[in-house]
Chain A
Amino acid sequence: MQLTTKHTQYWQRSLRITVILLALWFVVTFVVSYYARELSGIKIFGFPLGFYMGAQGSLIIYVLIIWFYARYMNALDQEYGVSEGED
């Protein structure tokens, strides 16, 4: 298979978005949980922040990450003229 610049560019851009979103996932999951004790002084809707992040906050961020990724990649497909139409 001949690797065109299109290939490399497309792959570079999908790699970049993957790394950025994975970093966000890592911070939300591991860094925030690691400091859950320290975050408990802050209250949100009556929840201590550490508890809230584990029970709801991080879950909502996960869905948003996946939603954003799907949207970004679809736009990328369109830009490169390889969009597969509607879902």
Chain B
Amino acid sequence: MRRNYALYAGSFFAFVLALGVLEQHGMPPRWIGYAFLFLTIILYATIGVLARTSNVSEYYVAGRRIPAIFNGMATGADWMSAASFIGLAGTLYLTGYQGLAYVMGWTGGYVLVALLLAPYLRRFGQYTIPDFLGARYGGHAARLVGVFATVLASFVYVVAQIYGVGVITSRFVGLQFEIGVFVGLAGILVCSFLGGMRAVTWTQVAQYLVLIVAYLAPVTMLSYKVTGVPVPQIMYGQVLQKIELLEQRISNDPAEIDVRRLFLVRADELAERISGLPGSLAVEKRIISAQIDQLKNSNAQMRDVFALERQRRELPKNADAAREHWDSLMRQATQRGSELTRHAEAFPGIDEVASNTVRINFIALVFCLMVGTAALPHVLMRYYTTPSVRAARSSVFWSLLFILGLYLTAPAYAVFAKYEIYSNLVGSRIAQLPGWIGAWGKVGLVSIEDINGDGILQLAELSLNPDVIVLATPEIAGLPYVISGLIAAGALAAALSTADGLLLTIANALSHDAYYKVFRPQATTQWRLVVSKTLLLVVAVLAAMVASQKPATILFMVAWAFSLAGAAFFPALVLGIFWKRANKPGAISGMVLGLLVTLYYMVRVQYNAIPWLGIHGIGMEPWLGIQSTSAGIWGVAVGFLTIIVVSLFTDPPSTETMNFVESVRSPDFSGH
């Protein structure tokens, strides 16, 4: 097995190298994009077909024969999604220290997995997470609540992955977004549909190798270019010091100060317009109309007239739409006009109070991401696939080690990109900016507005979408296009592998836990697999349909998935293992209340109105200033509290359950 994968890694390098050589000889970039996209998908599909199975244990838990180190790699690929691969470095670029909450949260959660869950779940040795809830708390109710939470959290997450696939395919090979979504879907299905967990695991190992090489290659080259040492993870400390000097210079630059003042003036104007609604909308219309008339009378260029007419057509239709539109413009302007964020500064704020709010949000987000990591079913399920409890424990170690490959590098990406932009881009003439600005500007990820009209780029005039940092690093560093193709293949691997794991988790929860365990216990094993595969297909198509609608709040939804999973599962699982007295009424009420509190907080903090339900004016002030993405902190607390209080007020669990807990806690000594 090891030899196979070494061979595979070798041929992948040869493939990349061959494409690099072909590019030198004039192969067009579009073909390189196609080669990466289709060859990697064919590769995953081949592994999927070779590992196909119709055996129940192979299908659900890969026959429990996955060695710890390979399970670690598969977990790594399962874990690192499109958001980690593309979005994380960009978030770190934009928010500096504050973005480290994601880096810490998405790695530290594995300590909880290792110490509190993985070995015990493996000793229990069934198929799914609801299986454990059902066995520990008895009856179908706890199991069904578990199924509901699994589907809720995983579905939100899988939609985000498929959306990511659509973005990558449409950007790198020029497929239409909707077609890209369905091409990606096909790639996902050949693996999970035919071979279940076994095929998914071996494909994920292959995908891990692609994604980690793709992630490390460009930034290593960039590090070599900037510092002369190709170890970005260590060298970015020096670059960070240079950035501090650049930040100092930029924030003292008179032109920069002036640009920021202009943005703040614009924000004030917008605020005034918003408070003048609905009258100000009509005024706005009149002003533009007057300008059009004036231009027409003065024999101006028709092009300018058309531009103004389009501006008039695109004015918001009514006061509500105008409020929303102007509000978002005002936020942008305020953002761009505000003080420059210092990359390494922890918890910036204008005063002590503001700074403390940032700090408490940082801590709360770290907490939610960690607890969510230790509660997302598609990750926990992986520890059922190892041969033994011992292998489960070392498998968590391998998982985190492989994951660190990416997470230790993401902050370096942000710092190197920032250095290039601050030192080479800012202060140069707008007419002579490098080509990648225009190329990514066309797809709307980069925009430049010369607000003070001096023809020179000030930092505040440049606005970047976080995704562009990783995607454009090869171009920023002046590397050949083949590296961009590699990045695309890596991002695709990250999205596909996570989607595979999630889809399988949803289908298993529905087919195994809901259908087989609750509704049709007499179903034959063959029939169970048929049901599972059918459900997989249905869920996959549903997710692709939702993703092709391009839901706007998708990134928020991913953070919510962590809060939801954490609130629903973490207290019930941990207390189920570590507190014998926890009983069925306690667990069910704790899970339901935890979920409800989390949902309630998210919705009321995030939205003021839900138009399609006819609900208005439900917005509330956040408690302690904590944002909706960290709603899980309340849900988890309520979950723990409810389980403890309700359990203490109801009968203790039966002797059978007590024995079950003992059997999960320690190995079987009887044979020795």
> Does B526 sit within 8 A of A, measured CB to CB?
no
Report yes or no: B391 in contact with A55, Cβ–Cβ below 8 A: no
Which residues of A come within 8 Å of B, CB atoms? 1, 3-4, 6-7, 10-11, 14, 18, 21-22, 25, 28-30, 33-34, 36-37, 40, 44-48, 50-52, 54-56, 58-60, 62-63, 65-67, 69-70, 73-74, 77, 80-85, 87
Q: Interface code B219-255, partner A: CB below 8 Å = 1, 0 otherwise?
A: 0000000000000011001101100000000000000
Report yes or no: A82 in contact with B669, Cβ–Cβ below 8 A: yes
B interface, how many residues as a size bin? 35 or more
Q: Interface code B375-389, partner A: CB below 8 Å = 1, 0 otherwise?
A: 000000000000111
Given A37-B347, A54-B97, A10-B400 contact (CB < 8 Å): no
B346: contacting residue among A1, A36, A56, A67, CB under 8 A: A36
A-B pairs with lowest CB-CB distance, top 8:
A46-B237, A54-B100, A36-B346, A82-B667, A84-B388, A45-B237, A70-B393, A1-B659
13 contacts between A and B (CB under 8 A): A1-B662, A4-B669, A18-B115, A22-B111, A25-B115, A36-B347, A37-B347, A37-B355, A55-B408, A65-B111, A65-B114, A70-B396, A85-B390
B114: contacting residue among A30, A66, A82, CB under 8 A: A66
Q: Which residues on B sit within 8 Å (CB–CB) of A40?
A: 344-346
Report yes or no: A33 in contact with B104, Cβ–Cβ below 8 A: yes
B100: contacting residue among A6, A51, A69, CB under 8 A: A51
Q: Which residues on A sit within 8 Å (CB–CB) of B100?
A: 51, 54-55
Report yes or no: A74 in contact with B393, Cβ–Cβ below 8 A: yes
Which residues of B come within 8 Å of A, CB atoms? 67-69, 97, 100-101, 103-104, 107-108, 110-112, 114-116, 119, 233-234, 237-238, 240-241, 344-347, 355, 359, 362-363, 366-367, 370, 387-391, 393-397, 400-401, 404, 407-408, 411, 659, 662-663, 665-669, 672
**Identity of the chain A residue whose Cβ is nearest the Cβ of B415 in the assembled complex:** A55
Q: Which of A6, A18, A44, A69 has the most CB of B within 10 A?
A: A69
Task: Classify the secondary structure of B's interface with A.
Answer: helix
* Least distance between A68 CB and chain B CB atoms (Å): 9
Report yes or no: B407 in contact with A59, Cβ–Cβ below 8 A: yes
Q: Which residues on A sit within 8 Å (CB–CB) of B667?
A: 10, 77, 80, 82
**Identity of the chain A residue whose Cβ is nearest the Cβ of B114 in the assembled complex:** A66
Q: In the bound complex, what is the Cα–Cα distance between A33 and B394 (angstroms)?
A: 28
**Identity of the chain A residue whose Cβ is nearest the Cβ of B68 in the assembled complex:** A87
* Least distance between A46 CB and chain B CB atoms (Å): 3
* Least distance between B528 CB and chain A CB atoms (Å): 29
**Identity of the chain A residue whose Cβ is nearest the Cβ of B241 in the assembled complex:** A46
Report yes or no: B408 in contact with A59, Cβ–Cβ below 8 A: yes
Report yes or no: B400 in contact with A63, Cβ–Cβ below 8 A: yes
Report yes or no: A11 in contact with B408, Cβ–Cβ below 8 A: no
Q: In the bound complex, what is the Cα–Cα distance between A83 and B394 (angstroms)?
A: 14
